[in-house]
Amino acid sequence: MNLLADENMAALTPLFAPLGRLRALPGRDISATDMADVEALLVRSVTRVDASLLAAAPKLRFVGTATIGTDHLDLAALSERGIRWANAPGCNAEAVGEWVLQALLVLALRSGRALRDCTLGIVGVGNTGSAVLRRLKALGVRVLCCDPLRQAAGDSGPWFSLDQLLAQCDGITLHVPLVEGGANATRALLDQQRLAQLGEGAWLLNASRGEVIDNRALVAEKRRRPDLKLALDVWEQEPLPMPELVELADIATPHIAGYSLEGKIRGSLMLHCALTRGQVRTPALAELLDAPAKPAEAAPTTLDDQSLLGLLQQVFDLEREDERFRAALPGGFDARRKANLARRECSALTLRPVDDTQRTVLSALGFSLTE
């Protein structure tokens, strides 16, 4: 089998080289001229798999994307050609949960508020939204959830509308897919009118897709109301986000909320399993995660916002990445993404809890715990 893959996919060689002839290219460079012999194409979010790419790939039988989002794939064109495809739902949800929790703690500490006293809204409660919900519930934060699709499917709530979240929440975090049209469209879900409904001093976090917020309208709203606090991981026009929006954002990162070594390997494993349809054994995560375990350390006596932030920063330091990202612009968006490929999840840190209550909380936050 001829395989063409994005060179930044994790565990590419051990997983896919045994399956055939494997070529690897930078994801943004994969183009029609590379496709003549390709039977299996493995991509990330930066390769557009559209009708023109598919027209140049007469032998293509499988497309896999090691991501949750599928907005870079033309699913209708794939189905018209009868090409099997797979994505990697949930692979990086824990990393997104960790990014959002750390962003919330930073915003809370900067504004002199306790996270536990805030009401937070989650828009889109699938894999990543649920990872956020689990963490916030464990910390005793009041959370309002908005997911009209799950609500319509009869999933147990309570559910709230987006307008209710905008009216009632101190902070809102977005976890919806980018959907271009139809009744469930999410492009510019937060447009000028909705942004104006954010309460005084409200926090807005986006780790979904940049296009879910009208970026121009956001620049205008933040200029009009500097009290709003923005934590943005995703941008319109990546890898060239609007410079004025980066400058205005209180926390800015280069689409790395979901970047963790564990998440990247999980994504590759899911594609291996889908491509081979279980006919070749897919290894377990631990077999590919060649990372030394750190010795266990005592958890802080009190889990206040400052000590929680300190624990999360031991694994990944969001404010430091914010600084490095700003320093790398205008050209360094992809370079900063690449620099984050080896980020670990909180499970890489083993803690000794002081009691069973703390054990429950730290476990929900994703840390490994001593027996």
**Alpha-carbon distance 217 to 206, whole Å?**
15
Judged by beta carbon, residue 246 or residue 257, the one nearer ligand DEZ is: 257
According to the binding rule CB under 6 A, does residue 93 interact with ligand NAD?
A: yes
According to the binding rule CB under 6 A, does residue 254 interact with ligand NAD?
A: no
Q: Which helix H or strand E contains 369, and what residues bound it?
A: strand 368-369
According to the binding rule CB under 6 A, does residue 68 interact with ligand DEZ?
A: yes
According to the binding rule CB under 6 A, does residue 175 interact with ligand NAD?
A: yes
Which are the contacts of 173, defined by CB distance < 8 A and separation ≥ 6?
100, 104, 120, 121, 122, 123, 129, 132, 205, 206, 207
Q: Quick one: how far is CA 358 from the chain centroid? A: 27
Annotated binding site for NAD(+): which residue ranges?
147, 207-209, 233, 258
Q: What is the DSSP string of 125-136?
A: -SHHHHHHHHHH
- Stretch of 64-72, 154-162, 190-198, 300-308 contacting ligand DEZ, by CB under 6 A: 64-72
Q: Which residue has the tokens 């916002």?
A: 305
Give the CB-side neighbour count of residue 255, counting CA atoms within 13 A: 23
According to the binding rule CB under 6 A, does residue 145 interact with ligand NAD?
A: no
Helices (H), the chain: 12-16, 51-55, 75-80, 93-111, 127-138, 148-152, 162-168, 192-195, 215-224, 243-248, 261-276, 285-288, 305-315, 318-328, 333-339, 356-364
CA dihedral 111, 172, 198, 104 (to 10 degrees): 10
According to the binding rule CB under 6 A, does residue 177 interact with ligand NAD?
A: yes
Query: Which member of 7, 39, 238, 244 is catalytic?
Result: 238
Q: Contact, 228 vs 204, CB < 8 A?
A: yes
Catalytic residue check, 21: no
Judged by beta carbon, residue 74 or residue 170, the one nearer ligand DEZ is: 74
According to the binding rule CB under 6 A, does residue 336 interact with ligand DEZ?
A: no
Catalytic residue check, 150: no
Residues 85-114 that bind ligand DEZ (CB under 6 A): 92
**Alpha-carbon distance 166 to 151, whole Å?**
18
Supply the Cα-derived Rg of the chain in whole angstroms: 21
User: Of 8, 127, 168, 313, which one interacts with ligand NAD (CB under 6 A)?
Assistant: 127
**Whether residue 353 has a cis bond before it, omega within 30° of 0:** no
- Stretch of 66-74, 150-158, 217-225, 299-307 contacting ligand DEZ, by CB under 6 A: 66-74
To ligand NAD, the closest distance from the beta carbon of 268 in angstroms equals 15
Q: At what angle do helices 93-111 and 318-328 cross, to 10 degrees?
A: 90
User: Of 208, 260, 268, 340, which one interacts with ligand NAD (CB under 6 A)?
Assistant: 208
Could you tell me the strand order of the sheet in which 229-232 lies?
Answer: 142-146, 119-123, 171-174, 203-206, 229-232, 251-252
According to the binding rule CB under 6 A, does residue 271 interact with ligand DEZ?
A: no
What letter would DSSP give residue 256? -
User: Of 194, 255, 266, 343, which one interacts with ligand NAD (CB under 6 A)?
Assistant: 255
User: Of 64, 69, 129, 353, which one interacts with ligand DEZ (CB under 6 A)?
Assistant: 69
To ligand DEZ, the closest distance from the beta carbon of 235 in angstroms equals 12
* Residue 124 touches which member of ligand DEZ, ligand NAD, none, C-beta under 5-8 Å by kind: ligand NAD
According to the binding rule CB under 6 A, does residue 69 interact with ligand NAD?
A: yes
**Count of residues that interact with ligand DEZ, criterion CB under 6 A:** 10
To ligand NAD, the closest distance from the beta carbon of 181 in angstroms equals 12
According to the binding rule CB under 6 A, does residue 67 interact with ligand DEZ?
A: yes
Q: Which residues bind ligand NAD (CB under 6 A)?
A: 68-69, 89, 92-93, 96, 123-129, 146-150, 175-178, 184, 186, 189, 207-209, 233-234, 255, 257-258
Q: Which positions are catalytic? A: 209, 238, 255
